[in-house]
Amino acid sequence: MESKPQAPIRAVVFDAYGTLFDVYSIGVLAEQLFPGKGDALTRMWRERQIDYTRLRTLSNRYEPFDVVTRDALRWTADALQVALSTEAEQALMQRYAQLSAHADALEVLRALKGMGMRLAILTNGTPAMLKALVEHAGMGGVFERVLSVDTVRQYKTAAAAYQLAPDAFGLPAKQMLFVSSNGWDACGATWFGYTTIWINRSGLPAERLGVSPDATGKSLQEVVRFLTGRT
């Protein structure tokens, strides 16, 4: 674990999907709907969802994240050759709006607030999706700002997306700790100029992009340790 960051950190900015909220918690429902294919559907759906955000941003063909998510689900069902009924699709989309928070999320958020940190979410989800997630997780009132790339109509890792937090807080990116469980997102935020920490829960190899986050940990508890300088 890294020592205390060099720049004074005055705010902590969290990615939502995968970082605070478990995108694979939808797998239980997926398995019930499609026995034997729930895990594959969950993982392929997530991969295609992210692929579509990148393609749309690169091609300047923005669609909101709920549309992208639904399109990715339909593609995945086709790829796995499962019959996605209207009812099954709606059930999965509804469950996506109520993803489970990671077990350590609320405790860490409260600890950071106790340290006087300003907190934000900055993520690809639409404002309506984020409102549902935060309320379902009992996180209402925790965040000073909940920032959606829908404002700029570009997905991460576009610079315009990452600029939302510096603009919202009136702080330079280096004085904000950007937290993501997605290695590509942590790298993108590092390129942009944030102080960064990658929460590598799955033990994945580091991205081969010529850039590294300022710190890496296995759980959100590492955020508190990083900020307090503990090893």
Instruction: With CA atoms as reference, report the closest residue to 99 among 27, 207, 186, 44.
Output: 27
Tally of domains in the chain:
2
Residues 131-178 have pLDDT tens digits of 999 999 999 999 999 999 999 999 999 999 999 999 999 999 999 999
Residues 172-181 have pLDDT tens digits of 999 999 999 9
Task: Label residue 211 by pLDDT band (50, 70, 90).
Answer: very high
Tokens 């935060």 belong to: 134
**56 secondary structure, DSSP code:** H
* Claim to verify: residue 143 and residue 72 sit in the same structural domain: no
The per-residue pLDDT for 164 is: 98
* Claim to verify: residue 217 and residue 138 sit in the same structural domain: yes
Catalytic residue, from 15, 150, 185, 214: name it: 15
Average pLDDT over residues 179-203: 97
Average pLDDT over residues 217-223: 96
Structure token digits, residue 35: 């026995």
Q: Which range of residues forms the domain containing residue 178?
A: 11-22+99-228
Burial of 205 (0-12, 13-18, 19+ CB in 10 A): exposed
- The CATH number linked to 27 is 1.10.150.240
Centre a 10 Å sphere on the Cβ of residue 127 and count the other Cβ atoms it contains: 14
Please give the model's pTM, rounded to 2 decimal places.
0.94
Residues 87-133 have pLDDT tens digits of 999 999 999 999 999 999 999 999 999 999 999 999 999 999 999 99
**Considering all CA atoms of the chain, what is the largest pairwise distance in Å, rounded to the nearest integer?**
53
Task: Label residue 4 by pLDDT band (50, 70, 90).
Answer: very low
Task: Look at residue 1 and tell me if it is in a domain.
Answer: no
Task: Look at residue 3 and tell me if it is in a domain.
Answer: no
* Claim to verify: residue 222 and residue 121 sit in the same structural domain: yes
Q: State yes or no: is 39 an active-site residue.
A: no
DSSP string, 24-40: GGGHHHHHHHSTTTHHH
- The CATH number linked to 134 is 3.40.50.1000
* Claim to verify: residue 175 and residue 209 sit in the same structural domain: yes
* Claim to verify: residue 17 and residue 49 sit in the same structural domain: no
The per-residue pLDDT for 231 is: 41
Residues 6+ apart with CB under 8 A from 219: 104, 199, 201
Let me know: does 201 contact 179? Beta carbons within 8 Å. no
CA separation for the pair 189, 11 (Å, rounded): 14
Residues 76-89 have pLDDT tens digits of 999 999 999 999 99
